[in-house]
A and B are shown apart, each in its own frame.
Chain A
C-alpha cells in the first residue's frame, strides 16, 4: 500500500530535540570527561617523544596522533577504544526508552512517520559525536601547536580530516547497532549489555578466531605452491575484514601513515622500482582505503535498515 506524504516530515524536529538532549545530558558530560582526559594523556606522551625529532618529520601531527608510549596508547588508540562505547551510550535506549516513558504513542500520533523518528535519532547521535570529535581534534591540534611550535601542513590536515570522517563512519556502526538493540530489546539495560557484548566480541574474541582461522587455512595450503599459500593468506585477510574494527584499523593505518602502500600481502615483484619509505600522495592513500571505507558505510546502512524494519513492525504500545 502506498503511503502518502513525505517520510521525512518532522525529521529535523526530532534531530534537534535529540541533539539538545545529548549535548545537555549527564551521560555526555561523563563521556566528554573520559575522552578529554585520555586525549590529554595521549597528547602529552606524544609530544614528549616527538620533541626530539621536530623538524625532521614532515608528518609531525599525524605522528602526534599515532605515537604510543608504554603504558599509554596513542590518541588514535584511545579513540578507537572510546568511540564505540560513546556511540553505544548514546543509542542503547533510543527506542525502548520512549516505550518505557510512555512517550512513543504520543509522539507517533503527531503527523510524522516512524522513519523520521528513527532516522532523526540516528542523525542526532552522529551529529553529537561529530561535534565531540571535532572539538577534541581541534584541542589536540591546539595543544600540538603550543608544545611543538610548528603549524600543521595542508596535506596533514586533509589526512586528519579523513581520519575524522572514518572515525565517524566507525561510530555510525556502533550507533546503528545500539539503535537496533534498542528496538529489539524492551529493557535498556539488556540492550546496552548486548551491544557491549558485540563490542567485546569484535575487540577481543574476533581477532583470536581469525588468527585460528588463518592458521588453519595456511595448514591447508600446499607448502610447495606459493600461489596457494597466497590465496589462503588473502582469504584469511578477507575473513578478518568482516569486523568493523579491522576495516577501521586498516583505514587509519593508510590515512595516518603515508608510507603504507598496501593493506594486504605484497609480492616482492610488486615492490620493484618502488622507493621504500617514500610517502604516498593523499589521493593514492584514499584509493587504498576506499574499499574499507565503503565497506564500513555498507555495514552501517545494513544495521540501520535492520533497525528500521524491526521498528516498523513493532506495536506502539508497550
Chain B
C-alpha cells in the first residue's frame, strides 16, 4: 500500500518553480530519501505533504487523506521534524513536550507516560528538567525526534535530520532512525549527506530544480547513471584491461597499473577471477556497492554538460 502518493504536484512562488509535476509513491514501511542540491524543492515537497503549503497544482495523498482538506487527520498521524527545529528556550525539555501533548489532546496520564517513554528512548531523560536554551544542537535534534515519536506516528517526515551534527552524533541519530524503521514506521527524509542516506534508505529520489530527476534504489540509480550497478575492485597483474572489457556486462573499466575498477551490470567476480588467474596472478578481489556520492556527482556533471 502506498502511504504517500503525489500526482502532478506543483508549487510555484510567483515565477519561481519550486516543485514541478511531482509523481511520487512511498510504500508502507519504507525509508525514502529525498536528495538534491540547495533550493531543489525538497522542503517545499515536505510542506505540501503536511498541508502546511498549498500546492499550485496537482494533489497529494498521505495515508489516503488529502492534506489540504483533512490536515488535522493527516497531522495527527504524521510526525514532522523541521530542518531548523526550534523549541521554547525558556521552558524545559519536559515542558516543551507537555505542550505538544496538549496540542495533541492526550489525556494527562497518557501524556506523562509517553513523554517519559520518548525522553528515555532518546537519551534525554536525565536532562528533562533543563531549559532547552541550554541544549546543544544534537540534544535539540534528539528532542525533535522525541516529539515526533510522541504522537506514535505511522509516517515520520524528517527534513535534514543530521544537519549540523558531528559525525558521531549523526551516526547515533541514524541508528535511532533505523530503530523507527524496525517498528514499521514509514520514513521520508531529506538530506545532503549521501553516504548516510545510502546507509538507511531503501529508495531515493533525486531532485533537480524542482523536478524529480531520478527515482529508485541506489543500485538502480547506479545502473542508470553510471551504466553499472556493481563496482568491483581487482588487484592483479598489469595489462588485463582489454580482457576485462570484453566480458559481457562490463560497463566501464578504469585501470591504474595493476589496480582495476570495473563497473558492471551484474556480479562478475567469478569471471574476473578466472581471467586474472589465467593471465597472471590475482592479489585481491572485492565487490563494493556503488556509492551514491558517485551517482550524484556523475549525474550533476552530465547535467552541467548538457546545459
Residues of B within 8 A of A106 (CB): 80, 82, 85-87, 144, 147
In A6-52, the 8 Å CB interface with B consists of 9-10, 13-14, 16-17, 21
How many residues in B have their beta carbons less than 8 Å from beta carbons of A? 33
Say which one of A108-116, A215-223, A226-234, A265-273 lies at the interface with B.
Answer: A108-116
Q: Does B295 contact A (CB under 8 A)?
A: no
Contacting residue for A17 out of B53, B102, B144, CB 8 A: B102
From DSSP, what is the main secondary structure of chain A's interface residues? loop
Contacting residue for A2 out of B53, B69, B104, CB 8 A: B69
Q: Report how far A5 CA is from B151 CA in the complex, Å.
A: 18
Q: Report how far A317 CA is from B79 CA in the complex, Å.
A: 17
Residues of B within 8 A of A5 (CB): 70-73
Q: Does B300 contact A (CB under 8 A)?
A: no
19 chain-A/chain-B pairs, Cβ below 8 angstroms:
A1-B68, A2-B69, A4-B70, A5-B71, A10-B103, A14-B103, A17-B99, A101-B87, A103-B87, A106-B85, A107-B103, A109-B75, A109-B80, A110-B151, A111-B72, A111-B73, A112-B72, A112-B75, A316-B53
Q: Report how far A110 CA is from B47 CA in the complex, Å.
A: 13
Residues of B within 8 A of A107 (CB): 103
Q: Does B272 contact A (CB under 8 A)?
A: no
Residues of A within 8 A of B78 (CB): 109
Q: Report how far A101 CA is from B103 CA in the complex, Å.
A: 18
Q: Report how far A9 CA is from B71 CA in the complex, Å.
A: 12
Residues of A within 8 A of B70 (CB): 3-5
Q: Report how far A318 CA is from B86 CA in the complex, Å.
A: 12
Give the distance to chain B from A121, nearest Cβ to Cβ, in Å: 13
Pair A103/B86 contact, Cβ less than 8 Å: yes
Q: Does B52 contact A (CB under 8 A)?
A: yes
Q: A3-B68, A111-B76 are in contact. List 13 more A-B contacts (CB 8 A).
A: A1-B69, A3-B70, A3-B71, A5-B70, A5-B72, A5-B73, A102-B82, A109-B78, A111-B104, A111-B105, A317-B43, A317-B47, A318-B84
Q: Report how far A21 CA is from B105 CA in the complex, Å.
A: 20
Residues of B within 8 A of A4 (CB): 69-70, 72-73
B contact residues vs A (CB 8 Å cutoff): 43, 47, 50, 52-53, 68-73, 75-76, 78-80, 82, 84-90, 99-100, 102-105, 144, 147, 151
Q: Does A69 contact B (CB under 8 A)?
A: no
Give the distance to chain A from B88, nearest Cβ to Cβ, in Å: 6
Q: Does A105 contact B (CB under 8 A)?
A: yes
Number of contacts between A and B (CB, 8 Å)?
Answer: 86
Pair A109/B72 contact, Cβ less than 8 Å: no
For chain A, which range describes its interface: under 10, 10 to 19, 20 to 34, or 35 or more residues?
Answer: 20 to 34
Q: Report how far A112 CA is from B99 CA in the complex, Å.
A: 13
Pair A103/B88 contact, Cβ less than 8 Å: yes
Q: Report how far A316 CA is from B49 CA in the complex, Å.
A: 13
Q: Report how far A4 CA is from B72 CA in the complex, Å.
A: 8
Give the distance to chain A from B41, nearest Cβ to Cβ, in Å: 13
Q: Report how far A105 CA is from B79 CA in the complex, Å.
A: 12
A contact residues vs B (CB 8 Å cutoff): 1-5, 9-10, 13-14, 16-17, 21, 101-103, 105-113, 315-318
Residues of A within 8 A of B84 (CB): 102, 318
Q: Report how far A102 CA is from B89 CA in the complex, Å.
A: 11
Q: Report how far A2 CA is from B50 CA in the complex, Å.
A: 17
Pair A10/B105 contact, Cβ less than 8 Å: yes
Q: Report how far A9 CA is from B106 CA in the complex, Å.
A: 12
Contacting residue for A9 out of B43, B72, B85, B87, CB 8 A: B72
Pair A111/B86 contact, Cβ less than 8 Å: no
Q: Which 6 A-B pairs have the closest CB atoms?
A: A102-B86, A13-B102, A5-B72, A109-B80, A111-B76, A110-B103
Q: Report how far A17 CA is from B71 CA in the complex, Å.
A: 23
Pair B85/A102 contact, Cβ less than 8 Å: yes
Pair B52/A105 contact, Cβ less than 8 Å: yes
Residues of A within 8 A of B104 (CB): 110-111
Residue of chain A at shortest CB distance from B44:
A317
Give the distance to chain A from B49, nearest Cβ to Cβ, in Å: 11
- Residue from A4, A107, A110, A316 having most chain B Cβ neighbours under 10 A: A110
Residue of chain B at shortest CB distance from A4:
B70
Residue of chain B at shortest CB distance from A2:
B69
Residues of A within 8 A of B151 (CB): 110
Give the distance to chain A from B185, nearest Cβ to Cβ, in Å: 16
Pair A316/B52 contact, Cβ less than 8 Å: yes
Pair B82/A109 contact, Cβ less than 8 Å: yes
Residues of A within 8 A of B102 (CB): 10, 13, 16-17
Pair A112/B103 contact, Cβ less than 8 Å: yes
Q: Report how far A261 CA is from B71 CA in the complex, Å.
A: 54
Residues of B within 8 A of A2 (CB): 69
Q: Report how far A9 CA is from B75 CA in the complex, Å.
A: 12
- Residue from A4, A9, A109 having most chain B Cβ neighbours under 10 A: A109
Residues of B within 8 A of A103 (CB): 86-88
Residues of B within 8 A of A16 (CB): 102
